[in-house]
Amino acid sequence: MRLLTAVLASAVALALAVSLAACTPAAPELETVAEPSPTPTAVAPEPAGDGVLRVATLLPSPGDLAGTAPARIAAVEAAVRDLNAASGVLGAPVEVLHRSAGTAEGDQLDAAFADLVARGVDVVIGPADAALVERMLPLATAAGVAVIVPAFDGAAATAGEEADESLAQRLRQSDPAVQSTASAPEAYDAVVLAALAAVLADDDAGVSIAFAIPSALAGGIPCASYGACLAVLETEPVILLEGRTGGLTAAEAPGSDGLVVGLAAS
């Protein structure tokens, strides 16, 4: 009897131990946390300019005098004169050329773009026509030429700003055909933006300018003109070009690798 009692006691103890073991939660497995991967840093292109910033306009045929092409051309001319009055860019005068982009249905744009590339143009001030912009994308990428499109948000044309009276007078004096000054301030600012990007990159090549454009609009010390921005850069590393429009936004055209940028008033 004593033996049976002892055996039963041992059996109960063993069953209780097994039961407690089964009820005890297993220690949680430690989750392996992956180490954060470093964020890639954009690398500036190798300098490839020849020391002279060459700007060109490539705008729709100016046969329609009510259109904005004449005002844009005159604004680009005015901006280049102001740049050269301020000792040019990277120590050399800025050169300017003008070509017609024709219409979206024609093939004039391709021939005109090829001619500008052959002449060493670094920056093209292009048309806001979405169809023409689309056709410029592969041309700009292949040639490494920066294209800045005034009054363009990266996807479609915007209304554009009207020139103030001081700029409007200059436009009319340089081009009597100017009837509308819409988007002329953006065209003026596009040239100044390209010049400042060349200064920031210390290179006039189109790929360097395209890379440095965001740096000229990076939220630093505000400045309204090329000369004022150069003065800021003497003591500060970052500028914010406000330009003739009083504020600018730049948007990369999709599929352009950053070479085609729309510039609009903010």
pLDDT in tens, 147-157: 999 999 988 89
Taking residue 232's Cβ as centre, other Cβ atoms within 10 Å add up to 18
pLDDT at 47: 85
CA distance 238 to 200: 9
Q: Which amino acid is at 260?
A: V
CB-based contact 213:261 (threshold 8 Å): yes
β-strands 260-265, 248-252 pairing: antiparallel
pLDDT at 54 exceeding the cut of 60:
yes
pLDDT at 109: 93
Computed over every residue of the chain, the mean pLDDT equals: 85
**pLDDT tens profile 93-137:** 999 999 999 888 888 999 999 999 999 999 999 998 899 999 999
Helix (H) or strand (E) holding 211: helix 206-216
10 Å CB burial of residue 45 (0-12, 13-18, 19+) is middle
CA distance 86 to 63: 33
pLDDT interval class at 28 (50, 70, 90) = very low
Q: In 3D, which of 201, 178, 197, 187 has the Cα closest to residue 158?
A: 187
pLDDT at 1: 36
Sign of CA dihedral 217, 218, 219, 222: negative
Rounded to two decimals, the pTM is 0.84
Q: Which amino acid is at 67?
A: G
Q: In 3D, which of 123, 132, 150 has the Cα closest to residue 204?
A: 123
CA distance 265 to 132: 21
β-strands 239-241, 221-223 pairing: parallel
Q: Using N-to-C axis directions, what is the helix angle for 184-201 and 226-233, rounded to 10°?
A: 30
Helix (H) or strand (E) holding 156: none
pLDDT at 25: 44
